[in-house]
Amino acid sequence: MLLGVNVPNFGPGTDPAVLRRWAQNVEGLGYDLLLLSDHLVVTPDVAEQYPAPFYEPFTTLSWLAGVVPRIRLGTTVLIMPYRHPLLVARMAANLNQLSGGRLVLGVGIGWARQEFEALGVDFHRRGALTDEYVRTLRTAWADEEDYGPGRIPIWIGGNSDQGMRRAIRLGEPWHPLRNTLGWLREAAPRLRDLADEQGRPSPGMVPRIALRLTEKPVTGADRLAGEGTIDQILGDLDELSRLGADTVVLDPFNGDPRETCHPETAWQALAALAAHRPRSTERP
């Protein structure tokens, strides 16, 4: 299994020096992917969860590509309706080329109504726009003379049936975000059933889970996958592998923006997990 890390690119403790240390730690520990989140306008609904500064992912990943030369780079998730698809196609293709083919593009439809309003994008059409824009990306990238990126992996984010159907419809891996292991157990066969209904192949599953290391076991049905002792987290990864996930993204941000002022806690959890798993010998 390949493991990625969702690095906080926002919050009061985040600055270029911290982002550099995040990247160097994640690559140095042997993780396979480094991914960033996306918001363009820190409207009040965004700021409540992800306060400024918020570093734009394409800009930040382009810089980090020169800081860490080996690890794959990506987004979890780029909010697809926020940018013209040809702009995204160009930025993604250029970043992929400049980084030596290391880009993974996780995309989603978004949720922040005030941010949609600030950008002049119709919130109610965000699903349809995402479908249209992903198809535009693939059409643009097919022009190898102009874009020349090769095949940039796309992951389709979203926890709803609509998100599953979008992944099936577009033929790209499904990227569910932070849920319980019980929910993921039920989601895997649900994904196959929906694919059967559409008469299409079932896409792969590349979940993003929590990373919160505790000394004592976390119990209860609401325990997130990736939350608990090292044995619980390793068990979650084993079960996700059995469910068909060949890549899992770890999300060490657990909801309090003040965490970004103390990244050492997350780095220690990542180091502990890295010490208990073999390093991957391949890239996604």
Instruction: Calculate helix-pair angle for 181-198, 230-242, nearest 10 degrees.
Output: 10
* Burial annotation 260-271 (CB, 10 A radius, 16+ → b, else e): beebeebbebbe
DSSP per residue over 198-267, as a string?
HTSPPPPB--EEE-EE-SS---STTPBTTEESHHHHHHHHHHHHHTT-SEEEEE---S-GGGGG-THHHH
Instruction: Write down the pTM of the prediction.
Output: 0.96
Place of tokens 């083919």: 101
Cα separation of 59 and 102, whole Å? 15
CB 94 within 8 Å of CB 73: no
DSSP state of 125: G
Q: Which domains does the chain have, with CATH numbers?
A: 2-276 (3.20.20.30)
Helix (H) or strand (E) holding 105: strand 103-108
Helix (H) or strand (E) holding 188: helix 181-198
For residue 118, give the 3-state DSSP assignment.
Answer: helix
DSSP per residue over 159-181, as a string?
SSHHHHHHHHHHT--EE-BS-BH
pLDDT in tens for each of the 284 residues of the chain? 999 999 999 999 999 999 999 999 999 999 999 999 999 999 999 999 999 999 999 999 999 999 999 999 999 999 999 999 999 999 999 999 999 999 999 999 999 999 999 999 999 999 999 999 999 999 999 987 888 777 899 999 999 999 999 999 999 999 999 999 999 999 999 999 999 999 999 999 999 999 999 999 999 999 999 999 999 999 999 999 999 999 999 999 999 999 999 999 999 999 999 999 866 544 44
